[in-house]
DNA sequence: TTGTAGGCGTTATCAA
DNA sequence: TTGATAACGCCTACAA
């Protein structure tokens, strides 16, 4: 109720607003006692300098925007944790936004940020759209952008990714060595860079083992669970693959569900490996074989790159490409 | 780069700043053509009014702070999704903060918000500390607070919870009816209100079935996985319960792991039911029996209450207590 | 329908 | 060490 600000505090203490301000900004130009006095009274009023006013002056928001396709997903949740950890150390806070993989949402949020709402952006892109110039606007305003996991190749920015190609190659090769000859590749959006890279590993592993690539085995799924169930049911019934390599955790779960329904036995009739950051993959029935990305570390790295960019504001925009390593865990589902 | 603001735009268009401002605020007091002209030029410059300046004037941030103990957790992730969904409809954005169940972090963030950083707070509390008056400071500034799932009872605020007592009672009763006589109750923090409520359901179900309550069977776990593994190993080896009722998902997973290690068979030797929002609970080995809270809906409800509070600013602070229903799913782990 | 002007709360600069 | 003042960018009475 009783409005409080630096001015009122100043009057109350018989000081000037500048002195009050200094008390809050670690300025050395202030008498220790005065400072104490100010802070103690401020505490009584539970007063803190208004951020919007400070930001308006300083053009610093101490806020980092994080944009992800989904939140209820182990990979992203862990990555966000990593980002938050680093942000916190720098006294930054996280403005979180979820795109649901919808391009328009991504564009609208990025544009919204384009006005001093955040000091930077860490994002995993929706993967849609062709023209991503809206991201370059940010550059003009010195708002660093860091991509993680999912990247736009037409935008120059720091990136944090994993060795997707290698992992995919290794996973596919494992399936081949285990005897699979008809391996389906599950993907959500073929056009997205990450889907392409992972698929290339799959394709090349097939080639190495002289198993012909079959376009029919590339299953383009959707974001809708029910649709996926239908698609996968059809695949398992009609195409009858003997192996599944899923580029997305969600699709592996869907596969499990469909197998349960159809009575397809994993790994006997169908071996499954999936990209997944699920901690409890070993507890599934059967234990899911995974390519596990270092989600938390990726978040940490992305945030670190962001803060580096922030500090070098005048120099060039950072274009560091950071690649972390995923791990392949072969469990029951692919034995 | 080339700085841009309402003034510069005004000069460029030979208009006044007020006219420019009006173009962005759906004001009716503006010529349609003028507006078009302004917006089109603005778009060229990818200009949007600076939020910090607007906020400074309006005292509205269009930002909603969300405070949760953890992010990488299905319950909270889904709840955040629900909150975000509603927030978005109101043109609000989410400032996310994670407390790691550490009281000091909670206090420090809440205090940080106490200065016009957000228009309101939706939180699931850390559950520590005795004095939560720092939350009342917010009330004075008309920053509505909504608790969800985890609540401080000494603070008046709108709350969204689930029928924890009933669910716990039902789950315990199920275990009893299935023949369990030595049911361990797993909890992370006994003092937290939610832990108490859930425990009461457990206690009362025991009483109803004339099974004596045994303090030794209340297992107070930690936030550290390794510690929990140790604790649970000891419990399974020494106390040898025949049922587990876990108030927290995480502890159920830990139980599974320990059972795998020790070769304890679920559900033959040990039946397990847990609070959990895990979508793939049926895919676990064995399928986990859960009390599933409507996480997404809770988020939606919490956000809805928040916006109601926001609109009734002058009237009384809302103290609505909303209770949603959880569902008990008995699966293989408790059959 | 458009313009003028003052102020939102803070801080940096300069002067005392 | 402290104080006065201008400025950050925007919005809204009020005036024209």
Q: Quick: pLDDT tens for A203-220.
A: 999 999 999 999 999 999
**Chain D positions under 7 Å from a protein CB?**
1-13
Q: How many CB atoms lie within 10 A of CB A329?
A: 16
Checking each nucleotide's C1' against the CA of A28, the nearest proves to be D1
Q: Which residue has the tokens 């992730």?
A: B77
* Spatial separation of the C-alpha atoms in residues A65 and B42, rounded to whole Å: 23
CA distances in angstroms from B269 to B117, B229, B231, listed in the order given: 53, 18, 18
At B155, list the tokens. Answer: 């603070």
C-alpha distances in Å from residue B320, one per residue of A51, B166, B296, B304, B305: 30, 20, 19, 11, 8
Considering just the CA atoms, what is the radius of gyration of chain A in Å? 25
Q: How many residues does chain B have?
A: 335
Structure confidence by residue, pLDDT tens digits, A223-261: 889 999 999 999 999 999 999 999 999 999 999 999 999
Name the band, by pLDDT with cuts 50, 70 and 90, for residue A314. very low
pLDDT for B76-116, tens place per residue?
999 999 999 999 999 898 999 999 888 988 988 888 888 77
CA of B48 to C1' of D3 (A): 36
Question: What's the rounded Cα separation, in Å, for the pair B70 and B123?
Answer: 11
| Nucleotide C7, nearest residue via CA and C1' | B57
- Tell me the nearest-neighbour CA distance from A67 into chain B, angstroms: 11
CB contact under 8 A, B84 and A74: no
Q: What is the dihedral of CA A52, A53, A55, A61, to 10 degrees?
A: -20
Omega of the bond leading into A267 within 30 degrees of 0 (cis): yes
- Distance, CA of B17 to CA of A207 (rounded, Å): 64
- Average of per-residue pLDDT values in chain A: 90
Q: How far is CA B146 from CA A106, A251, A324, B125, B321, in A?
A: 28, 35, 40, 10, 10
Helix axes A74-89, A295-311, angle to 10 degrees: 40
What is the bridge-based pairing of β-strands B289-292 and B243-246?
unpaired
Cβ-proximal residues to B101 (8 Å cutoff; 6+ apart), any chain: B69, B70, B126, B127, B128, B188, B189, B223
CA distance linking residue A266 with residue A179, whole number of Å:
14
Confidence at residue A201, expressed as pLDDT on a 0 to 100 scale? 96
Contact present, B214 and B192 (Cβ < 8 Å) = no
Angle between helices B6-13 and B32-44 (to 10 degrees): 120
Q: Are B183 and B199 contacting, i.e. CB atoms less than 8 angstroms apart?
A: no
User: How far is the C-alpha of A186 from the C-alpha of A202, rounded, in Å?
Assistant: 11
- Taking only the tens place, the pLDDT of each residue in B277-335 is 999 999 999 999 999 999 999 999 999 999 988 877 544 555 689 999 999 999 999 99
The values of phi and psi at residue B324, to 5°, are -100, 165
In this model, does residue B270 exceed pLDDT 70?
A: yes
Which residues numbered 39-68 in A keep a CB inside 8 Å of some CB on B? 46-53, 55-56, 61, 63
B117, A92 contact by CB (below 8 A): no
Distance separating alpha carbons of residues A212 and A207, to the nearest angstrom: 7
**CA B17 to C1' C5, whole Å:** 11
State whether residue B72 sits within 8 Å of chain A by CB.
yes
Question: What is the arithmetic mean of pLDDT over B168-172?
Answer: 98
Distances in whole angstroms, Cα of residue B107 to Cα of each of B132, B156, B274: 8, 17, 30
- Residues B221-225 have a mean pLDDT of 89
- Asked if strand C contacts B25 at the CB level, meaning under 7 A, the answer is no
Q: Nearest Cα to A333, choosing from B154, B83, B285, B262?
A: B285
DSSP string of B230-259, one letter each residue = HHHHHIIIII--SEEEESSHHHHHHHHHHH
Percent residues over pLDDT 70 in chain B: 96
Q: How far, CA to CA in Å, does A247 sit from each of A199, A266, B147?
A: 8, 18, 37
Confidence category of residue A317, pLDDT binned at 50, 70, 90:
low
What per-residue confidence (pLDDT) applies to A25? 83
pTM of the model: 0.90
CB-nearest partner of A48 from B81, B114, B140: B114
φ/ψ of residue B191, rounded to 5: -75, -20
Which nucleotide, over all strands, has the C1' atom closest to the CA of A22? Answer: C11
pLDDT level of residue B259 (50, 70, 90 thresholds): very high
Angular region, A94: left φ>0, alpha ψ -120 to 50, beta rest: beta
Q: B322 forms bridges with which residues in the sheet?
A: B160
Check if the beta carbon of residue A168 is closer than 8 Å to that of residue A291.
yes
Q: Work out the number of other CB atoms within 10 angstroms of the CB of residue A223.
A: 15
Chain B residue numbers with beta carbons less than 8 Å from the beta carbon of A93 are: 95, 97, 112
Distance CA B197, CA B168 (A): 8
Could you tell me which chain B residue has the CA closest to the CA of A258? B283
CB contact under 8 A, B253 and A279: yes
Is the pLDDT at B165 greater than 80? The verdict is: yes
Closest among A216, A157, A169, A177 to A197, alpha carbons compared: A169
Q: Say if strands B63-68 and B120-123 run parallel, antiparallel, or are unpaired.
A: parallel
Q: Are strands A289-292 and A327-329 parallel, antiparallel or unpaired?
A: antiparallel
Of A264 and B315, the structure prediction assigns the larger pLDDT to A264
Q: Grade residue A1 by pLDDT with cuts at 50, 70 and 90.
A: very low
What band does A134 get if pLDDT is binned at 50, 70 and 90? confident
* Residue B284 DSSP symbol: B
- Please state whether strand C lies within 7 Å of residue B28 at its CB atom: yes
Q: How many CB pairs under 8 A join A and B?
A: 130
Residue with the two structure tokens 């992203």 = A76
Interchain pair B283, A72: CB under 8 A: no
Q: Do A72 and B71 touch (CB under 8 A)?
A: no
Q: To the nearest whole number, what is the mean pLDDT of chain B?
A: 90
pLDDT band at A169 (very low <50, low <70, confident <90, very high): very high
Q: What percent of chain A has pLDDT over 90?
A: 56
Tell me the CB-side half-sphere exposure of residue A51, using CA atoms within 13 A.
Answer: 22
């Amino acid at each position: 109720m009783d409005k409080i600000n630096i001015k009122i505090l100043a009057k109350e203490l018989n000081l000037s607003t500048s002195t009050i301000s200094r008390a809050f900004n670690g300025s050395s130009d202030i008498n220790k006692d005065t400072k104490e006095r100010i802070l103690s009274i401020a505490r009584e009023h539970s007063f803190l300098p208004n951020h919007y006013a400070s930001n308006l002056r300083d053009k610093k928001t101490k806020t980092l925007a994080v944009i992800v396709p989904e939140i209820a997903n182990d990979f992203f949740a862990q990555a966000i944790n990593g980002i938050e950890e680093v942000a916190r150390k720098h006294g930054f806070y996280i403005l979180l936004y979820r795109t649901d993989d919808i391009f328009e949402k991504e564009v609208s949020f990025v544009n919204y940020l384009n006005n001093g709402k955040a000091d930077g952006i860490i994002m995993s892109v929706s993967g849609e759209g062709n023209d991503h110039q809206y991201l370059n606007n940010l550059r003009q305003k010195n708002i660093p952008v860091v991509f993680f996991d999912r990247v736009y190749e037409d935008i120059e920015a720091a990136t944090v990714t994993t060795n997707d190609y290698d992992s995919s190659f290794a996973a596919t090769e494992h399936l081949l060595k285990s005897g699979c000859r008809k391996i389906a590749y599950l993907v959500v959006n073929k056009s997205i860079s990450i889907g392409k890279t992972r698929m290339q590993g799959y394709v090349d592993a097939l080639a190495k083992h002289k198993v012909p690539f079959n376009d029919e085995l590339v299953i383009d799924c959707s974001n809708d669970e029910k649709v996926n169930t239908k698609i996968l049911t059809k695949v398992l019934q009609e195409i009858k693959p003997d192996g599944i390599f899923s580029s997305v955790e969600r699709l592996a779960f869907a596969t499990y569900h469909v197998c349960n329904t159809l009575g397809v036995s994993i790994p006997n009739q169908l071996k499954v490996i999936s990209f997944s950051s699920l901690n409890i993959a070993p507890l599934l029935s059967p234990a899911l074989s995974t390519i596990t990305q270092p989600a938390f570390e990726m978040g940490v790295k992305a945030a670190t790159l962001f803060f580096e960019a922030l500090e070098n504001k005048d120099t060039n925009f950072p274009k560091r490409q950071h690649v972390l390593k995923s791990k392949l865990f072969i469990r029951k589902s692919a034995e």
